[in-house]
Amino acid sequence: MKFKIATIIVLALCLFSCKKEIDGQEKKSEEVTNVAKDDLFRVGFNLIVKKDDNMHLYYTIDGSINFEEENSVWMPVKGSDKPQDVVFVLPEGIIPSLVRIDLGFGKNETQSDIDLKSFELSYMGKNEVVSGQEMFKYFTPFEGYTDIEPGTTILKRHKKDQASGPILYPQTILSEKINKVTSGGSPE
C-alpha cells in the first residue's frame, strides 16, 4: 500500500514539474516572437479623426513616388474626439524609400477635418517622431484634394464630396528620416 502511495506521489510530482517546464518554454517562445516582430518597419500617425474611416499607406522601395495598390497597407480607424495612434506595419523584409498617406476612403461627407498631431517611423528598436507643423517638411498636401488650415496641423478635404480624404505626398527629405531609423542603410 505504501508503495502505491509513493508511486502516485512520484507520478504527480513528475506531472506538475513537466507543466512548469512547458510554461517556461511557452514564455520563451512568446519573447522570441515579440523580438522577431520588431524587425517590421512601422509608420504611425497620432491624430484625431472623429468618424470611422479607412486609411491607406502607400510605400515605394525604389525612391520614386509611383505609388501602387500592391505596395500599400489599409487600416480601419474608429472615430474618436481624442488623439489616437494609427500604426501601419509593412510586410516582412520591406523598408520603404518613401511613403504616402491617404487619410480617409471614398466619399465620406460626414467626416470632419483630421487633426494630424505627429508621425513616427520605427524599425528594430529605433524610432523618429516628428510633430506639429514640422511634419510638413516631410509631407506635402496633394493639391486639389487636401487643404491645411493655416497655422495648424488640421487637414481638410478640398471638397466635402470628393472621392477620397486628405492625401499627403512625401517630400524627398522623408527618405533621410527613413535612412536614419534603419541605421543609415539605403532603402532598396
59-90: per-residue pLDDT in tens? 999 999 999 999 999 999 999 999 999 999 99
23-67: per-residue pLDDT in tens? 555 444 444 444 445 789 999 999 999 988 889 999 999 999 999
Number of domains observed in the structure of the chain: 2
Mean pLDDT for all residues in the chain: 82
Tell me the sheet residues that pair with 73. 57
The reply to whether 53 and 145 lie within a common domain is yes
Determine the structural domain holding residue 27 and report its residue range: 1-37
Cell of 69: 495598390
Please tell me the predicted confidence (pLDDT) of residue 179.
94
CATH number of residue 165's parent domain? 2.60.60
The reply to whether 2 and 55 lie within a common domain is no
Give the type of residue at 142.
F
Residue 123 has pLDDT above 90, yes or no: yes
Give the type of residue at 99.
V
Per 3-state DSSP, the chain is made up of helix, strand and coil in percentages (nearest 5) of 30, 35, 35
The reply to whether 73 and 124 lie within a common domain is yes
Residue 21 has pLDDT above 50, yes or no: no
The reply to whether 117 and 158 lie within a common domain is yes
By three-state DSSP, how is residue 10 classified? helix
The reply to whether 159 and 107 lie within a common domain is yes
